[in-house]
A and B are shown apart, each in its own frame.
Chain A
């Protein structure tokens, strides 16, 4: 990277907002931002510059996304993306411009699949964009997690929030399996769990295309032997999986992200569940097919 261009990124970012944190935190953030640019490769700076958010003079958008913060804070996820999970995307060019729902399978105990899809949308999608994942309602009650997600552009998954973001032409990632998928035990790996119907109602209501996404690899990062449901309930957690390493520490598996062709549905969003289930099943089958094909085509779990 030529040092001159790096300096321009820094100076323009600094000139834009005078609300940047000062002191130690400010220095850490500046060096994290450099790390992001370094990890991202030659065109990363240009890509980051193309990310848009309707920011006010304090550098945040109405939902609390702080692009400058996000660029710095994404560095560890980007490191996982590039060096640890060595994510390979397939068919990301199929993701259309404008509003879109990315519907993916969910696995791996920790929601790193969401982070990896997010990195792919910044590093490889055209145009680069911040994909918003829909958070569980308990996320805002978690100290430090809540503001971190908010500054990264993640939003609590209420239908109203989703509607608003789609109306603004945003990209939304939904894991319709929720924790049922994320925290399933290893014996159920790569079997899609029950899908929620909410995303389909929103897609029909707003005329948003659905891109099915299959994440292959995440399932093996921390296989869970049992889910201690009773203990989870006691601590108010959605699940308490027990992995061979006890805590769900992710192993360096290789990730493959398969993006399918956009699916467009029409119909009444207020149809009975049975009618919506039929449409949801179509999406689910598309994802399952990509998951199965992806497992066959990969060379090994780790390479």
Chain B
């Protein structure tokens, strides 16, 4: 069997579906997800499986997987720590080791810039070699850091595999339901009084484009992936016609902690740091080496959270 397929884990998620739309006409796509993929294109073969299951190895064993795009990474902050830790870390470990064992040539792992963590000490443009301090103030994301570190380790251990780690900025899009997109959909979002950090957003289509760029033969390494630019949080909220509620920063954290523990909000309290400090990155390496450049404009990117018809 020819080695010509791209295996996408987490294919049924919003990002996965966006990526499939872009890829399936050009390459053969195989999907792996424990969730169903309603409305999948006819030419895409999807295995509905938990990535930690033994049967996953069968997909690799056939020997037709040329590239693995690993984005089955859970970010749901409401899940118990043990559950997402196990899924993210063990899942990554499993699929990456199968990739090495069965001669996959390219591995792309979806990480994020959140693992650098927002902090008052940050450079305005963090480069890929900045320390991953995200869990310093937000302990629950340490599995995401572990996934990134594990992928780095894999990259050095397996020089025969072209490993690419992508660290995109806050992903937004009509169907994306992560913390930044949900935040921007609030009619009256909180801001921290007297703080207005620069923020980078990336449209889901641009993220899919960056993955396409990363699939190019020979590309390997760690890349920050940014959208069309950075701008103050207040400008983003003004573009969306939001009426923000400025909350003093010393009250916001205890208040949100209360609301979080009594299930009145979906935002974990440490996310507040993103409203206070910088976590912006330098995306020039991806432009230089992968030839990736965001296609959506700032305005399109921001307004994408309003839905497909906005």
B63 within 8 A of A: no
| Given A160-B123, A164-B124, A64:B198 Cβ within 8 A | yes
Q: B244 to nearest A CB, angstroms?
A: 13
Shortest Cβ distance from residue B276 to the other chain A in the assembled complex, whole angstroms:
8
Whether B123 and A158, one on each chain, are in contact in the complex, defined by CB atoms closer than 8 angstroms, is: yes
Measured CA separation A137–B192 after assembly (Å): 19
Contact B124 A143 (CB under 8 A): no
Interface status of B269 (Cβ within 8 A of chain A): no
Interface stretch (choices A55-63, A90-98, A223-231): A55-63
Q: Which of the residues A62, A142, A145, A161 comes within 8 Å of B123, measured between beta carbons?
A: A161
| Interface pair A147/B298, CB less than 8 Å apart | no
| Contact call A140/B278, Cβ cutoff below 8 A | yes
Chain B residues, CB < 8 A from A62: 124-125, 198, 229-230
Task: Say if the beta carbon of A19 comes within 8 Å of chain B.
Answer: yes
**CB of B216 closer than 8 Å to a CB of A:** no
* B194, A147: Cβ atoms closer than 8 Å: yes
A78 touches B (CB below 8 Å): no
CB of B193 within 8 Å of the partner chain: yes
Check if B80 is an interface residue, CB within 8 A of chain A: no
| B26 in contact (CB, < 8 A) | no
User: How far does the alpha carbon of A69 sit from the alpha carbon of B298 in the complex, in Å?
Assistant: 20
A155, B124: Cβ atoms closer than 8 Å: yes
Structural contact, A56 and B195, CB atoms closer than 8 A? no
Q: Establish whether residues A144 and B277, one from each chain, have CB atoms under 8 Å apart when the complex forms.
A: no
A249 interface residue per 8 A CB criterion:
no
Query: How many interface residues does chain A have, given as a range?
Result: 20 to 34
One of A63, A137, A147 near B124 (C-beta < 8 A):
A63
Tell me the complex Cα distance, A58–B122, Å: 23
Indicate if B239 sits at the interface (CB-CB under 8 A).
yes
Q: How many A-B residue pairs have CB under 8 A?
A: 78
Interface size on B, residues (CB 8 A): 29
Q: In the complex the two chains form, is A147's CB within 8 Å of B120's CB?
A: no
A56 x B124 contact (CB < 8 A): no
Residue of A138, A142, A147, A161 near B196 (CB, 8 A) is A147
Given contacts A60-B231, A155-B124, contact A150 B196 (CB under 8 A): yes
- Specify which chain B residues have a CB less than 8 angstroms from the CB of A142 in the assembled complex: 194
B187 contacts chain A at the CB level, 8 A cutoff: no
Q: Hey, which chain A residues are within 8 Å of B193, CB to CB?
A: 143-144
Interface pair B124/A60, CB less than 8 Å apart: no
- Max count, chain B CB within 10 A of own CB: residue among A19, A58, A146, A151: A58
A14 to chain B minimum Cβ distance, whole angstroms, is 16
On chain A, the residues within 8 Å of B278 by CB distance are 140
A151 to B234, CA, bound (A): 12
In the complex, which residues of chain A have a beta carbon less than 8 angstroms from the beta carbon of B197?
146-147
| From B232, B238, B248, contact of A147 by CB (8 A) | B232
Bound-state CA distance A158–B124 (Å) is 9
Please list the residues of chain A having a beta carbon within 8 angstroms of any beta carbon in chain B: 19, 21, 56-58, 60, 62-64, 66, 137-138, 140-147, 150-151, 155-156, 158, 160-161, 164
Interface of B toward A, CB cutoff 8 Å: 120-125, 127, 192-198, 228-232, 235, 238-239, 248-249, 277-278, 297-299
Known A145-B194, A147-B197, A164-B124; further 15 A-B contacts with Cβ < 8 A: A58-B298, A62-B124, A62-B198, A63-B124, A64-B198, A64-B230, A140-B120, A140-B278, A142-B194, A143-B193, A143-B194, A143-B195, A143-B248, A156-B122, A161-B123
Q: What are 19 A-B interface contacts by the 8 Å CB criterion?
A: A19-B235, A19-B239, A21-B238, A57-B297, A58-B298, A60-B198, A60-B231, A64-B230, A138-B120, A142-B194, A143-B192, A143-B195, A145-B194, A146-B194, A147-B194, A156-B122, A160-B123, A164-B124, A164-B125
